[in-house]
Structure 1
Amino acid sequence: MVENRKCRASQRSKKLVVECQVYLDLVASGVSTSEACRRIGVPRSTGYRWRHGRVSRAGRARTAPPSSATGSRPSVSARFLCLDERLEIADLRRAGRGVRAIARQLGRDPATISRELAHNSDPGSGDYQPYRAQARAEQRRARPKTGKIAANDELRILLQEMLDDKLSPEQVCRRLRRDHPDRPELHVSHETIYQALYLQGRGELRRVLAAQLRTGRAVRVPRPTSARRHPRFTEPMIMISDRPAEADDRAVPGHWEGDLIIGKDQKSAIGTLVERATRYVLLVHLGRSRTADHVRDQLVATITTLPHQLRRSLTWDQGPEMARHHEFSIATDVPVYFCDPHSPWQRGSNENTNGLLRQYFPKGTDLAAHNPDHLAAVAAQLNRRPRKTLGWDTPAERLAKLLTEAS
């Protein structure tokens, strides 16, 4: 056995021939790559290069490795296992490591390792041989492939008939599996059907069938991502994650939640403000305008009627009516914090209050018919209503109590 070495620079090429031969003999006898490299005193990457075929058993470097033994291929996505990883899987399996342990070692999901062993192990013996596994994977990945729908006339006719009856792709998929449980050649996923409809040039399903879909679209519409999402406002938003902790635990009054309730045909609105600690309600008269300028002016007029200790923050959703939020903050010295998209529970008190207000302002009615005096009367009545969450105090009582304690 070759002794460990601390420095490779002073070794002659002849020594590499011996090391390579010893390494290959150790691996052939069942020793893992990591252990063999440790005994010889070479990096594990060197052992992998010897096994890839870049160095022959005689120790002479080859001009190029075999295409089937390339450890990584730039043209293949990183989500696929490469030969380096398959070699490590084989070593770890030989060492008795389980699927989860292998997944942790490679930084992969356990399901990926499980599928690899199930799909690419030798069918007869069940042994996992990395080079054969790499060849099987490359053969299955070869493109282009004939689609399942294009290769099966019966399946294509069935799909066209069911889509003509305006069944959705998912209904088609489930119906075929139920009606033909013993014929896997007629089983197809709904995603395969969508691809056959959307992708031009496949010739698998008539393009006119795309018009039968409920959306009526002939192309796939990509979902928006945070990377593609444009800023909603010209001025940067302060997100709810930056809101003070005192607002979260409702310990200090003066933190408000706000929103709009919309009237008939989206032509009228009322602004609603709820104080988080006391559930005290203020209603903002907007009439038939909910532009950013109008909402800013009406909110400023409402908030400035409050004492200074009740003007700490305002939390709103990302509606376009708050595009002038920075000007509102300058005028009132009240910062505005914005909820995350599609997260109404982050303004739970306000959402609950909006539901209560619908008893006074039903959906589908003209909210511009209610003047400011009527809105003030409705808010006063809500503030006189005992609340279970306040121990049956009213919001007006709780607010007065907190203000007295603060003074």
Structure 2
Amino acid sequence: MTRSHRNEDRGGEHRWAFNGVEYPTRKLMCEARRAEYVRLLDEEGTNFTQAAHAVGVSKRTGKAWRNGRTRATGRNEKPLVDRYRSTMDKPKTLHPRHLSQEERIQIADRLRLGDSVRAIARPLGRDPGMVGREVERNRNPESGGYEPYQAQQKAADRLKRPKPRKAAEDCGTRSSPGCAGIGARSR
């Protein structure tokens, strides 16, 4: 277990220590502690409770670091790392109703050539309204251009449930707890 404490026995000099390293300010020590917490989560694959205890903070503090928090003053603190949504297992192939990366690249290329939305939608086999909404939703506010790679990332982040389903795909036996209410009618 790591330890952190304030050394005051050095002739009035105040130093903060964590993992055997001394820091001149408490802020720097806390930053090192948070960095170690994130490293344990990312590289070692520990769960957030184990990582919190390993760096010497409570489970609740570790959860606040991971998810962000709202202070009583109303100030919001962002999570330390926004890795959870961007690194979740996203489906390799989306439903055909969603635009693919290739279609977004074609839209961007044709927009640069000056084609109309209808002219872009026709070869893709898509509704012009869908292409128009896609372009407006994902325009870069600074440059005004459509950026297909950012559009794909935004679309993946906007998915309703980016995490895997709890209920199994094959609930034919209905023996697993995740399948308890599927297909059953309530009377």
Q: TM-score, normalised by structure 2?
A: 0.37
Q: Which has the larger radius of gyration?
A: 1
Greater relative CO, 1 or 2 (CA 8 Å, sep 6+): 2
Q: TM-score, normalised by structure 1?
A: 0.18
